[in-house]
Amino acid sequence: MTEARPVVEGANHTVAAADGYEPVIGLEIHVQLSTRTKMFCGCEIRFGERPNTHTCPVCLGLPGALPVVNERAVIFAAMIGLAFGSDVARRSLFHRKNYFYPDSPKGYQISQYDEPLCRGGRLGDVRIHRVHLEEDAAKLEHISASGRIHGSERSVVDFNRCGTPLVEIVTEPDLRTPEQAREWLTLLRATLRALGVSDVDMSQGSLRVDANVSVRRAGSRELGTKTELKNMNSFRFLERGLRAEIDRQLGVVRAGLTVEQETLHFDPASGRLTTLRSKEEAHDYRYFPEPDLMPLEVGDELLQAARSAIPELPAQRAARFEHDLGLSAGRARELAFRGELGDYFERVVAAADAAPAPELANWIPLLVERIGSDTDPAGSRVAPEGLAALAAMVSRRELSRDAARTVLSRMVEIGGDPSSLAEREGLLALPGGDGQLAELVERAIAQDPGAAEQVRANNMKAIGPLVGYVMRETKGRADGGEVRRLILERLAPH
Amino acid sequence: MTAALVQLTAAQAGARVRARELDPRELFEAYRQRAATDELNAFTWVAEAPAAAGPSPADAPLGGVPVAVKDLFCTEGVPSQAGSRILEGYRPPYSATVVERLTRAGAPLLGKTNQDEFAMGSSTENSGFGPARNPWDRARVPGGSSGGSAAAVAAGLAPWAIGTDTGGSIRQPAALCGVVGFKPTYGACSRYGMIAFASSLDQAGPLTRDVTDAALLFGQMVGRDPRDSTSLKFPEPVRLPHADSLRGFRLGIPEELTGTEGGVEPGVRDAFDRSLELAEKLGAAIEPCRLPHAPHALSAYYLIAPAEASANLARFDGVRYGLRVDGEADLLTMYSRTRAAGFGLEVKRRIMLGTYALSSGYYEAYYGTAQKVRTRIAQDLHAVFERFDLIATPTSPWTAFELGAKLDDPLQMYLNDFCTVPMSLAGIPAISIPCGLSDGLPVGFQLAGPAFSENRLFEAAFALERAIGYDGSPARG
Amino acid sequence: MASELSHVLDHIEKISELDLSDVPPTSHVVDAATPLRRDEPEPCLPREVVLAGAPEPVGDGFGVPSPGAAPA
């Protein structure tokens, strides 16, 4: 391993636009499929078990063992291709990718090369180059103080994971900023999760992302030399790593030098980029067609099974929320990109009768705030009907917004319906016609005659403190809109 | 008693066991003793007793007749070394499918036979455990790579045996030892548990005393195996042959494989010609035919097979099983020293050749081109089989040569396969039967047919074998 | 070794003289699709058996020199 390369510490945002350079980013994603058994053998896939307890001659690479393709892995891969609108090849080939490493028991990985399962397609703003099937390597644990490979003398190999089906997705270099990359990955993850083909958990290793990064003069059609960024453990680290590498490359080209092709690792703790492999060490994998497997043929039946297994996907759902239900683009994506949120929201809409969906949608983030972004709302104490009822109470002005938030918090804690909760806790809105409010309005005006004078003079900004006084006095129970109306009525002569 | 037992063919012995005239344990012990006192180095391991498993031999199709198995077949708990030091003492946790099928059919494991390392060779001189010797003349090679199996059957140390054929490794040693050797259609027998040399060429097959035994053994080996993606369902039941004539058979004689191009020795050519005369008398219609790309078959083979082998042998890295050298050094050193120590010269040669043929920049010229030659050879044979039922050639251009005689020049050794490689490349079945002696050494006669023509092949071979009347008993001592 | 390989290659290289322009390569002699296996578990090997032939068993795993260690 070569020594660490000091980094141009990533600025908070790229300055590419400023001096005419633009970054170009492409992603290479490996997705571990959630099939029951491995890609080429019948070993059950289990994680966290005692090492080397889920292996057989095939995934151990014992002499004489032979691979047999897992049908469900092919269906899952076809589903991914169909979700992208890719061309799913009726006939594709497996190839041997030859290299020596302790995590590769055969000394080659069975993968796909120039005849992959899927070509083309797109997801959101990014075009897909290809999608193919391959097998995962074993797990290598390095015995050292840090557990990392540097400084370790011995390693230990566990083959439980070896042979797990992987789908490799390669995008076109359509991404232009690290933020865009992170957002797109969020959409990808939501899409794969909706398909049900993978756990897509980066921390568990069921989703792995490598990035290819280069810079070029804005408006140029050519691509600059690209470097590869590998082994990032989260979308956030990936974003930071991309930023660091883009800044580094910009520094290089601005100094009149050329970017060298290499493979880099970004350490989020130190912010440093390290060279893993230089171009000279690039591997010749000597690909040739896998003689132990005949061509993979995807027939009508399999394609139909894949097609019918595809549910509404996040991108489509977001479009529907926006166009059919009237949500803003941002809110639509927010709710559609997390399957459980979208599901829960639709149940709220169904329970809410004629209430407008955008208004209902605003309540979901408030719920998420209270239960945590990792919790499925369907598993919380707030039933969709309850949330719909709460929203209805607010639109009927039976509850002020502030009070409703409090009621929501109580619903999260103890469940129950909002109406009885609000009543019990004395949070019901003060009705506008009740003399109580009118009396408070008088007091508000009396205690701040200056503001009152401003309002009479048509300076509406001054109404704020008056409304605020009444809200405080009623401990938020008054309906803000109603208070404002009463004040205006009182002050603005007609 | 034992001497008489050993003169029986496997089919005859099996019939006696099923008729309760012969105790299968007596049969096993007779052979076990002969195998254990083997002076030909035909065996690398001999059983102490028949393994307990299996149905009662008296009721099983193969009648309890023990079988010798080439070292590269995985046999659970029993050394399976593929003739290599890198696997010395390796005992697999599972058995090859064909071995399991034979055991279940009532052919218990007699022993493991010696071979060229990883099936690479034509003389068994590349074995990591010393060469095997030809029972007809112990100063000569038995052929290879299934030399141990061929020698064992020829010498009466085993009633029958199985081997593997990639470019001729069953047929050629069968020819040199004067026994029957058969390579099935590619995919007819499962390769699961066969330590791989060249995956698109390797096939398991029988080495036996006569054609009937070969058909009998093959009949129990054949069949689709869900563990081998390249294995196929055989389209019809395997029949024991009984033809007494060759009427209706059109026999093609490929000029490229029978002339001096392949360096066919005069003695071999004579024996071959005499057999053709017999075939004609039996009613076969014989004519010459052309296989224009056959002269390039060896070149294509020696690019494709080493290429696949270079990948198949990458798993021998000292990590999980087998030999490890310098495990306390760094990883690359351990890899290279382990493989340098564990692999013999020929294996290293072929791994280098294969790696080169697949390298970036060379793939098209070498491996890619070889694959196209392979297509042409298959097309040539396909065209011939539109006019002919079978083709015939000598199996080997020469009889058994002396140990050490062909070790100086690898190309000379490769030429052993001149007549057998085209069938391997096309994946078609072929059988070698002994057709006489030349200077006291056996000569093999090869018949080949289109894919799945096994039953026709056996019939033709059977009829010819009867007419030839070859006597292999001198080698059985 | 090198000279032997050169010698072999000289002979083998003659195939480049053939006209193979329109010939498709043969990757598989069998003209069939690869069979697909149902996604149903099959028995695995017991751990002791798996580690039985290991040159360097370390706990439950296979010990090897680390790829990260400097060459000796």
Give this complex's ipTM: 0.96
Q: Is residue B258 part of a domain?
A: no
Pair of tokens at residue A466: 């008056």
Q: Beta B390-394 vs B250-254: how paired, if at all? A: parallel
Looking at residue A292, what is its pLDDT?
Answer: 98
**Total domain count, chain B:** 1
Helix ranges, A63-161 (H): 71-83
Give the Cα separation of A35 and B62 in Å (integer). 42
**Contact indicator for B59, B49 with CB cutoff of 8 Å:** no
The confidence band for A278, taking pLDDT boundaries of 50, 70 and 90, is low
Chain A nearest C-alpha distance from B4 (Å): 38
Element (H, E) at B302: helix B297-312
Tell me the average pLDDT of chain A. Answer: 89
What are the residue ranges spanned by the domains of chain A? Answer: 5-308, 314-424, 436-491
**Residues A77-96: tens digit of each pLDDT:** 999 999 999 999 999 999 99
Helix ranges, B75-146 (H): 97-104
E strand map for B166-317: 180-183, 203-208, 250-254, 285-289
**Residues B132-144: tens digit of each pLDDT:** 999 999 999 999 9
Overall average pLDDT of the A200-218 stretch: 94
- Answer yes or no: is pLDDT of C68 > 80: no
**Contact indicator for B211, B461 with CB cutoff of 8 Å:** yes
Tell me the average pLDDT of chain B. Answer: 95
Nearest of A485, A454, A484 to residue A467 by alpha carbon: A484
Chain A residues near residue C36 by CB distance under 8 angstroms: 69-71, 74
Domain with B161 in it: 2-248+390-468
Residue identified by tokens 């399957």 is A339
Chain B nearest C-alpha distance from C72 (Å): 6
Overall average pLDDT of the A336-359 stretch: 89
**Contact indicator for A161, A138 with CB cutoff of 8 Å:** yes
| Architecture of the domain delimited by A436-491 | Orthogonal Bundle (1.10)
Give counts: helices (H), strands (E), chain C. Answer: 2, 3
Residue B66 sits in a domain whose CATH number is 3.90.1300.10
- Answer yes or no: is pLDDT of A335 > 90: yes
Interchain pair C58, A156: CB under 8 A:
yes
Chain B residues near residue C42 by CB distance under 8 angstroms: none
Looking at residue A18, what is its pLDDT?
Answer: 52
Overall average pLDDT of the A244-257 stretch: 93
Chain A nearest C-alpha distance from C72 (Å): 11
Element (H, E) at A70: strand A69-70
Residue identified by tokens 């390290």 is A274
Chain C nearest C-alpha distance from B107 (Å): 26
What phi, psi does A181 have (nearest 5°)? -65, -45
**C28 at interface of A, judged by CB pairs closer than 8 A:** yes
Give counts: helices (H), strands (E), chain B. Answer: 16, 11
The confidence band for A432, taking pLDDT boundaries of 50, 70 and 90, is low
The confidence band for A14, taking pLDDT boundaries of 50, 70 and 90, is very low
Residue identified by tokens 């070794």 is C1
Overall average pLDDT of the B376-384 stretch: 98
Interchain pair C62, A156: CB under 8 A:
yes
Chain B residues near residue C67 by CB distance under 8 angstroms: 331
Lowest mean pLDDT among A62-76, B48-62, B327-341: B48-62
**Contact indicator for B107, B66 with CB cutoff of 8 Å:** yes
**Residues B4-32: tens digit of each pLDDT:** 899 999 999 999 999 999 999 999 999 99
Looking at residue A477, what is its pLDDT?
Answer: 75
Cα atoms in the Cβ-side hemisphere of radius 13 Å centred on A246: 29
Interchain pair C8, B353: CB under 8 A:
yes
Chain A nearest C-alpha distance from B188 (Å): 14
Interchain pair C40, A72: CB under 8 A:
no
Looking at residue C2, what is its pLDDT?
Answer: 85
Amino acid at B256: E
Mutation target among C28, C37, C42 for the A interface, most CBs of A within 10 A: C37
Looking at residue A1, what is its pLDDT?
Answer: 39
Nearest by CB to residue C30, choosing from A142, A294, A296, is A294
Chain C nearest C-alpha distance from B325 (Å): 9
Pair of tokens at residue B118: 């990883």
In sequence order, what DSSP letters do the residues of B275-294 get, joined into one string?
HHHHHHHTT-EEEEE--TTG
Burial class (CB in 10 A: 0-12, 13-18, 19+), A124: middle
Chain C residues near residue A159 by CB distance under 8 angstroms: 50, 62
Overall average pLDDT of the B450-473 stretch: 97
- Answer yes or no: is pLDDT of A2 > 60: no
Residue pairs between chains B and C whose CB atoms are closer than 8 Å:
132
Interchain pair A284, B359: CB under 8 A:
yes
Looking at residue B131, what is its pLDDT?
Answer: 98
Whether a cis peptide bond, with omega within 30° of 0, leads into A328 is: no
Q: Is residue B83 part of a domain?
A: yes
**Contact indicator for B346, B120 with CB cutoff of 8 Å:** yes
The confidence band for A232, taking pLDDT boundaries of 50, 70 and 90, is confident
Q: Is residue B378 part of a domain?
A: no
What distances in angstroms separate CA A462 from CA A85, A450, A456, A476, one per listed residue?
56, 9, 10, 19
List the Cα angle B452/B455/B461 in 5-degree steps: 120
List the Cα angle B364/B365/B366 in 5-degree steps: 95
Overall average pLDDT of the C28-48 stretch: 95
Residue predicted with more confidence, A475 or A20: A20
Residue of chain C with shortest Cα separation from B188: C30
- Answer yes or no: is pLDDT of A431 > 80: no
Overall average pLDDT of the C8-34 stretch: 91
Q: Is residue B19 part of a domain?
A: yes
Give the Cα separation of B267 and B436 in Å (integer). 10
**Residues B92-105: tens digit of each pLDDT:** 999 999 999 999 99
Lowest mean pLDDT among A73-77, A116-120, A451-455, B175-179: A451-455
**A64 at interface of B, judged by CB pairs closer than 8 A:** yes
Lowest mean pLDDT among A4-8, A224-228, A290-294, C26-30: A4-8
Residues 426-445 of B with CB under 8 A from C: 426-427
Q: Beta B285-289 vs B250-254: how paired, if at all? A: parallel
- Answer yes or no: is pLDDT of A152 > 80: no
Give the Cα separation of A391 and B54 in Å (integer). 75
The confidence band for A214, taking pLDDT boundaries of 50, 70 and 90, is very high
Interchain pair B319, A292: CB under 8 A:
no
Residue predicted with more confidence, B303 or A422: B303
* Residues in contact with A242: Cβ distance below 8 Å, sequence separation at least 6, in sequence order: A23, A25, A178, A181, A211, A213, A229
Residues 195-214 of B with CB under 8 A from C: 200
**Residues A165-174: tens digit of each pLDDT:** 999 999 999 9
The confidence band for A12, taking pLDDT boundaries of 50, 70 and 90, is very low
Highest mean pLDDT among A5-9, A44-48, A54-58: A54-58
Residue of chain C with shortest Cα separation from A46: C41
Long-range contacts of A359-366 (CB under 8 A, 24+ apart): A359/A391, A359/A395, A360/A387, A360/A388, A360/A391, A361/A321, A361/A325, A361/A327, A361/A331, A361/A335, A362/A331, A363/A387, A363/A390, A363/A391, A363/A408, A364/A334, A364/A335, A365/A334, A366/A405, A366/A408
**B93 at interface of C, judged by CB pairs closer than 8 A:** yes
Looking at residue A15, what is its pLDDT?
Answer: 43
Q: Is residue B336 part of a domain?
A: no
Overall average pLDDT of the B316-337 stretch: 94
Interchain pair B374, C25: CB under 8 A:
yes
Nearest by CB to residue B90, choosing from C5, C18, C53, is C53
Q: Is residue B431 part of a domain?
A: yes
Which residues of B belong to the active site?
70, 145, 169
- Answer yes or no: is pLDDT of A279 > 70: no
Lowest mean pLDDT among B218-227, B347-356, B374-383, C5-14: C5-14
Chain B residues near residue C55 by CB distance under 8 angstroms: 318-324, 327
Residues 118-157 of B with CB under 8 A from C: none
Helix ranges, B316-453 (H): 331-342, 345-358, 369-387, 410-414, 421-426
Residue predicted with more confidence, A436 or B128: B128
Q: Which neighbouring-strand residues pair with B165?
A: B203
What phi, psi does A450 have (nearest 5°)? -60, -50
- Answer yes or no: is pLDDT of A5 > 50: no
Residue of chain A with shortest Cα separation from B327: A154
DSSP class of residue A478 equals B
Show which residues on chain B lie within 8 Å of chain A, measured between beta carbons. 72-74, 80, 82, 87, 90, 92-94, 96, 191-196, 198-200, 226-230, 307-308, 310-311, 313-317, 319-321, 331, 335, 355, 358-360, 363, 367
